[in-house]
Structure 1
Amino acid sequence: MDKPAERRLQDRRRAKPSLRKGRLLHVRSGLSAEKTLLVRIGIVIVLLTLVIAVFWFDRDGLRDNLDDHISFPDILYFAMITVTTVGYGDIVPVSHTARLIDAFAVTPIRIFIWFIFLGTAYELVVQRIVEEFRLSRIQKQLQDHIVLCGFGHSGFIAAQETVAKGHPADRVVVIDDSEDRIHLAAEAGFVGLLGDATSEDTLIKACVGKAKAVIVSTGRDDTTILVVLTVRHLSAATKIVASIKQEENIKLANLSGADLVVSPPRIGGYLMADAVETSHATPFLCDLMSAGGKMVLSERRAEADEVGRTMAEITGGMVVQVHSHGRNIPFTERNRYIIQAQDTLLIISPPGDGKIPSPAHPL
């Protein structure tokens, strides 16, 4: 996450404890299960070797009740049964030194090895079962949710605006490969999913097939396009909104399956150019795009009582554009164009003054 967004989340967390925390849908450790297991096996081997070495150098303090002779296989055998606390009594420490070594050197190693065994069993078996149960339970609740791929500065703003526009925070699934960002997303009330957004497995866990929309803002155009391709492969109907920086990559994102491509540099350029010649246009446009502004820009299907009227005759806001059967009807036609059934209206209105969007065509 960019520093400004991260600071805002951390400052808000310090200032006031969150009353509604999000959930971590799936958080992995830094090492894979195979690497974790290999590391712990290596630690156990080192500790067992240390125990064997200690008993071998102090073998005179041990007694074999069978043949009264301590060989290396006897030391290996005694080390194993001592560490595993089996203890058959056929080999026993008889000297004070051997008993002190067993009490103060071998016993802590034995306890540490058992902690490794129990921790590994919990992490690789019990914890995985618990995580799979939590994963399936949360997935059952995900329907018409929003999947946000990338929780950088743009992704953070997109998530905030999505909630401000009325979408529940616990229906926003944030995917990122940074564990810190995922925990920050959960602190902000979202569902955090740690993983690679280009991976089919990760996207399936996020239930992209049942999502209302997928917002892709990874910060890299190549990664964004790959995510778009993967999402479109998994779901032909899910709406995909992609953030693209380079002009030449916009066409590629569209061809990859994005329904709408947003170019922050282009939008920023437009706003800065307007700010040169005007003093109020840029603040108004920014206010218009924000859910917390004095005016809101909304999109909805035409109601039955609006069909047959002109754009200028619509109440509850100003219709600035109509999308009709693949055509965009501009504001200049507001006194001539007659609204038809199934038209989509783009309306500027005060917050709460517009009509409720039709469920058949969500915003």
Structure 2
Amino acid sequence: MLRPDPPPVERSPVLRQRGRTPIWLALSWRIGLALALIGVALAGHWFDRTGLRDNVDGSVSFVDVVYFTMITVTTVGYGDIVPVTDRARMFDTFVVTPVRLFVWLIFLGTAYDFLLKRVWERWRMRVLQNDLHGHIIVAGHGTSGTEAVAELIRRGNYRDKIVVIDPRADALDKAEGEGVVVLAGDATRNTTLEAVHVARASAMIVAAGRDDTSILIVLTARRLAATLPISVVIRSEDNEALATQAGANTVINPASFAGLLLAGSTSGPHLADYMMDLAGLHGAVSLHERAVAPHEIGKPLSAITTGMGLRVYRNEVRYGFWQPEVHVLETGDRIIEVVPSKTDQAPPPFRHRNR
């Protein structure tokens, strides 16, 4: 049974306002603006209709003014009705011509927003989905998810290989600003994870902010991808075992880690400093996991030159650097090492931004 999360810390209320305008309102506003501009041109032509000449019957009626206004606003006219006075010509030059430009901009912008843009976005989404292979999925872009994305980029992952799933628009806007691929949706649903091709991902990070939600996401992802490495953030220690049973490969408890740092600082201030260095975004050193290289097979862990070897995983069994099993590295071993951080290197290039 899931135990409830710890009660959240009370914060001062924050004013929020939904900024997205309904489609029907945006469309109505544009139509109204176009009609208002046409109305200005129509009124000017009507009040100065004596400055117009009808080459067909010689008289200018209201219908002629409406016809002339619409033709002039949408095209350049046919020549059957023309301005003949200086005032009428100046009105067409400095009022009707700008109105024509604004009306065309409104029409083109509306066509782009409500037709071309949607077709483009659907096509681009299909292209992005087809390109998703070996990507990393981050479910939740809160505090932990944000730090995870930043660390992934710093470690050399391309931004278009990181997919953030979150139902909150503000969280997705922040992730989008980092250049990663985003998807608005509920990661506990099969359709959402299938949309990001979870079965083709290389890893998944779950940081939903609630233990019950995070564990449900792990269950859903494990059902769709049996071998996918899944890391999850769990707040309550009592829920760690449930997350493991749900299929998480790695369970991280921020509170436990903070307690570890605090306890280490009592026996020596430099212990906590080094642990923070390993875990920090801009630390001088970092942990690195890799497969044993062919030229390292048969050699001891202490002989590797890429970093300082700490642990070897062999057939899902871990061996420390002090144990005799690491004196001879074997095919299939996974090495955990401490390497200098490449903080002086620039992050991967900005390749894709999903809008």
TM-score bracket, normalised by the shorter chain, equals: 0.5 to 0.7
Correspondence 1:11-50 to 2 at 5 A: 36-50=26-40
Q: CA deviation at 1:212?
A: 0.4
**Counterparts of 1:84-163 in structure 2 under 5 Å?**
84-85=74-75, 87-128=77-118, 135-151=125-141, 153-163=143-153
Deviation at 1:272, TM superposition (A): 1.4
Matched, 1:196 2:184: yes
Equivalent-residue separation in structure 2 for 1:287 and 1:211 (angstroms): 29
**Mapped pair 1:261 → 2:251:** yes
Query: Which of 175, 178, 183 is the aligned partner of 1:185?
Result: 178
CA contact (8 A) 1:93 1:99 kept: yes
TM-score by length of 2: 0.62
Structure 1, unpaired ranges of 5+: 1-28, 187-191, 308-312, 353-363
The separation in 2 between residues aligned to 1:347 and 1:198, in whole angstroms, is: 34
Match runs of 1:222-241 below 5 Å: 224=214, 228=218, 231=221, 235-241=225-231
Q: 1:345 to 1:114 in 2, by over 3 A?
A: closer
Q: 1:103 corresponds to which letter in structure 2?
A: T
| Distance in 2 of aligned mates of 1:87 and 1:115 | 19
In the alignment, the residues of structure 2 paired with residue 281 and residue 349 of structure 1 have an alpha-carbon distance, to the nearest angstrom, of 15
What's the secondary structure of 1:265's corresponding residue?
Answer: helix
Alignment-derived partner of residue 52 in structure 1: 42
**Aligned residue for 2:206?**
216
Q: In terms of mean alpha carbon deviation, does 256-265 or 226-235 score higher?
A: 226-235
SS in 1 for 2:184: coil
| Superposed displacement of residue 110, structure 1 | 0.8
Is the CA contact 2:163–2:182 (under 8 Å) kept in the aligned structure 1? no
> 1:297, CA displacement in angstroms?
6.1
Task: Output the amino acid matched with 1:70.
Answer: S
Whether 1:171 and 2:164 are equivalent positions in the alignment is: no
Asked whether the equivalents of residues 301 and 342 of structure 1 are also in contact (C-alpha less than 8 Å), the reply is: yes
Give 1:193's aligned amino acid.
Answer: V
- Kindly state the Cα deviation for residue 151 of structure 1 after the two structures are TM-superposed: 4.9
1:241/1:260 contact within 8 Å kept: yes
Contact 2:164/2:181, CA 8 A, preserved across alignment = yes
Q: Secondary structure, in 3 states, of the residue corresponding to 1:215?
A: strand
Q: How many matched pairs?
A: 312
Alignment correspondent of 1:17: none
**Which deviates more from structure 2 when the two are superposed, residues 110-119 or residues 124-133?**
124-133
State the 1:107 CA deviation. Answer: 1.6
**Identical-pair percentage:** 36
Give, in whole Å, the separation in 2 of the partners of 1:126 and 1:90: 36
Q: By how many angstroms is 1:135 displaced?
A: 4.8
Deviation at 1:211, TM superposition (A): 1.1
Moved more, 112-121 or 160-169: 160-169
Letter in 2 for 1:198: D
1:181 aligned partner, one-letter code = K
Q: Report if the CA contact (8 A) 2:160-2:181 is conserved.
A: no
Counterparts of 2:261 and 2:71, CA distance in 1: 75
Change (3 A) 1:232 1:42: farther
- What whole-Å deviation, never above 9, does each CA across 1:296-331 have from its counterpart, x for those lacking one? 46476999x999xxxxx8655766686867xx7787
Distance in structure 2 (CA, Å) of the matches to 1:108 and 1:51: 10
Aligned-partner SS, 2:178: helix
Contact 1:298 1:348 in 2 (8 A): yes
Please give the TM-score of this superposition, normalised by the length of structure 1: 0.61
The equivalent residue for 1:279 is 269
- Structure 1 CA distance for aligned equivalents of residues 118 and 106 of structure 2: 17
CA change 1:109–1:344 in 2 (3 A) is same
- Give per-residue Cα distances to partners, 1:118-168, cap 9 Å, x unaligned: 233344455555555555555444321212345555334323443555645
Deviation digits for residues 229-283 of structure 1 (CA, Å, limit 9, x no counterpart): 6655764543332324455665776676644332222321222133234434323
Once residues 274 and 342 of structure 1 are traced to their aligned partners in structure 2, the CA distance between those partners, rounded to angstroms, is: 36
Which amino acid is 1:210 matched to?
R
Residue 59 of structure 2 aligns to a residue whose secondary structure is coil
Q: Which moved more, 1:168-177 or 1:272-281?
A: 168-177
Note the aligned Cα RMSD (angstroms).
5.0
Name the CA shift for 1:264/1:125 in 2 (closer, same or farther; >3 Å). same
d(CA) in 1 for partners of 2:109, 2:162: 33
Q: Distance in 1 between matches of 2:43 and 2:264?
A: 78
Secondary structure at the residue paired with 1:242?
strand
